[in-house]
Structure 1
Amino acid sequence: MKVIQKDSISKSLKKYNEDISYIGDSWAWVIDGATGLSGRNLLKDKTDASWFVYQWNEYLISNIKNYNFDLSTIIKLGIESIYDKYRFLVKKEEDLLISPIDFPSATIALIRWNSNHIEYFLLGDCEILIQNGQTNLVHISDEALKPFDDKVIDLMTNEKIINGLTHDEARDKATSMLVEHRLMKNKPKGYWSLEFDDIAVDMAKKGKICLDQEAKCLLMSDGFSILFQKYLKVDKYKIINFVEKNGLVGCYNLLRDIESNDSECIRYPRLKKSDDSSAVFIRFF
């Protein structure tokens, strides 16, 4: 199998993008970072999340080519390596007590291909779509975070309707619930995320898929997949065709147009007015 088409995008309306997308010789990924909820910037970087995803991007570039290790092992070794760097940078604050809600974290969609198969690894609410041949579609996702987000969105929507709050005011009202949910990260009744606990790796979606003569693969952060899941409600079997027709940039521009016309998140209730948005598209033959 050879790559005959590839494209990637990673954009943000914020000052600092906390996503990264990357395509290498035989691997690709999307990483969606999240800064701790306390608002503390412990690493003195742009944001803790931007530092975290940059470290993961650099680590994967250096280590993904080691085919002696499967993707889970590579991720586990990365957790150890990046945690060591994190602890070195924050230890200077001798009296600093770091709460679990302070840790940066991320979701990740990662693939690596060799000969006629794709190896995949997904942790968190990124998504992977693999169209294998003309009709077979593999959809890899994790819905564990969605019930938590939906509960917050319901609270925010009620605050807007009942109390006339703006989106930002409603988000402030939801802070305690957001903290409560963040404390469920990497716990059995919560959701799984890339952080500093390698138990999450064992709970990731992972596997290998043998490819037919032609295959297409789409990796998305939730800030990109929201276009299809919430705004346009595109059937999953039609998403890859939609991307091929409009291109990643076209999809991104459409997404931002929809969000700018719904700046208070009334028509499409959501946590953020806009989120960092990243995707990778690859076509094999």
Structure 2
Amino acid sequence: MKLLGAESEGSGAVNEDSFGHVGGSEDISAAWVFDGVTGINPRNHLLAGSDAQWLVARAHAHLMDLAPRAIALDTLLQDLVARLISDWDAASASLDLPRDYDPPAACLVLVKRYADGWHCLRLGDSCLLAREQGGGRRILAASPNNSFDHWLTREALKRRQQGVLDVKALLAEFAPQLREARAKRNRPDGYSVLECSRDALAMPEIVHLGWPAQMLLCTDGYYRAVDTYGLMEEGQLMDASAASVNDVLKLIRSTEASDPNAHRYPRFKPADDATAVMLSVDTRDWRR
């Protein structure tokens, strides 16, 4: 696979997204994107811009070592989680954490090439769009907690209509509901996510993709172009990303800037970190 484009852009002072890949731009053998879960603790405790950013940085560093290895994705995840647990034990040993501390977590989507084709590992709601040689598509883009997210969006819209525009104020108001939802991480009645716990091994998605012609890995902040703003459909997002990931990001940001209070396009956060990695077997135009 060739790397057509890769960008990560934060929506504020701290970017909790990240991406990485194995191989040069002409021969990518693995690639991934991270989306750190926004914290609801009153303050950060770890040595980073945020606790989620700390987790993403540690996990990314480990993947740079693990992803090139000839190991199955379930083994890769086991090794990654074991390393993160060790990191957490070392980092938290001297911390006085509150009893209701919300531990850091992140969404991850990773693709890796094997002898029988590409395989995908996914935890959380980051997205994979894969286009087959014949033009068919496979899409992994469902939110892990749609009903709660939709409720939260509706409630946030009500608050904004009442004049509450600060995201931190909304996070503080809805912290009890967010804690309740996050207690379902990696549980059968909840959703998968990467965290510094063996719980992250409970229910990852592992999918055999075969030999796709193109793949787009992106965080939900980038996928907003489809599911929140309706700027394009999935196939169009792949086409636009193949042409320029940066141009898609600009379009997303201009749309968010045109609706700063999230009235036209209801959403909990007016803007989100956005990251994408676009891969293709070559640089031909795959548009249909």
Same fold (TM over 0.5): yes
Q: Structure 1 172/263 Cα, relative in aligned 2: closer, same or farther at 3 Å?
A: farther
- Separation in 2, partners of 1:172, 1:87: 28
Label 1:78 to 1:189 Cα distance change in 2 as closer, same or farther (>3 A): same
Distance 2:233 2:52 in 1: 32
| Cα deviation, residue 238, structure 1 | 2.9
Matched with 1:264 is: 261
What amino acid is the match of 1:260?
A: A
Question: Structure 2 counterpart of 1:107, which letter?
Answer: C
Moved more, 112-121 or 44-53: 112-121
1:176-191 to 2 correspondence within 5 Å? Answer: 176-191=176-191
Structure 1 residue aligned with 2:285 = none
- AA partner of residue 160 (structure 2): K
CA–CA separation in structure 1 for the residues paired with 2:38 and 2:264: 27
Instruction: Give 1:170 deviation, angstroms.
Output: 4.5
**Structure 1: how far apart are the matches of 2:144 and 2:138?**
19
Aligned equivalents of 1:185, 1:70: Cα separation in 2: 24
Q: RMSD across aligned C-alpha pairs, in angstroms?
A: 2.0
Counterpart selection for 1:221 from 197, 219, 222: 219
Match of 1:47 in 2: 50
Instruction: Report the Cα offset of residue 61 of structure 1.
Output: 0.6
In 1, the alpha carbon distance for the partners of 2:175 and 2:281 equals: 44
Aligned to 1:165: 164
Question: What are the residue-to-residue correspondences of 1:23-172 with 2, within 5 Å?
Answer: 23-25=21-23, 26-67=29-70, 69-93=71-95, 95-99=96-100, 101-115=101-115, 117-161=117-161, 163-166=162-165, 168=167, 169-172=169-172
| Residue in 1 that maps onto 2:286 | none
Letter in 1 for 2:18: I
The answer (yes or no) to whether the contact 1:35–1:103 under 8 Å persists in 2 is no
Q: Call closer, same or farther: CA 1:234–1:198 in 2, change over 3 Å.
A: farther
CA distance in 2, matches of 1:18, 1:80: 21
Check 1:199–1:171 CA distance in 2 against 1; reply closer, same or farther (3 A cut): closer
1:14 aligns with 2:16: no
CA contact (8 A) 2:33 2:219 kept: yes
Please give the alpha-carbon distance, in whole angstroms, between the structure 2 residues aligned to 1:5 and 1:47.
29
Identity %: 24
| C-alpha deviation, 1:5, in angstroms | 4.1
SS at match of 2:228: helix
Task: List alignment gaps of at least 5 residues for structure 2.
Answer: 24-28, 283-288
| Inter-partner Cα distance in structure 2 for 1:120 and 1:255 | 26
On the 8 A contact 1:40/1:102 being kept in 2, the answer is no
The verdict on how the C-alpha distance between 1:17 and 1:199 changes in structure 2, with shifts beyond 3 A counting, is same
Deviation at 1:52, TM superposition (A): 0.7
8 Å Cα contact 2:9/2:275 also seen in 1: yes
Task: Give the Cα separation in 1 of the matches to 2:72 and 2:180.
Answer: 34
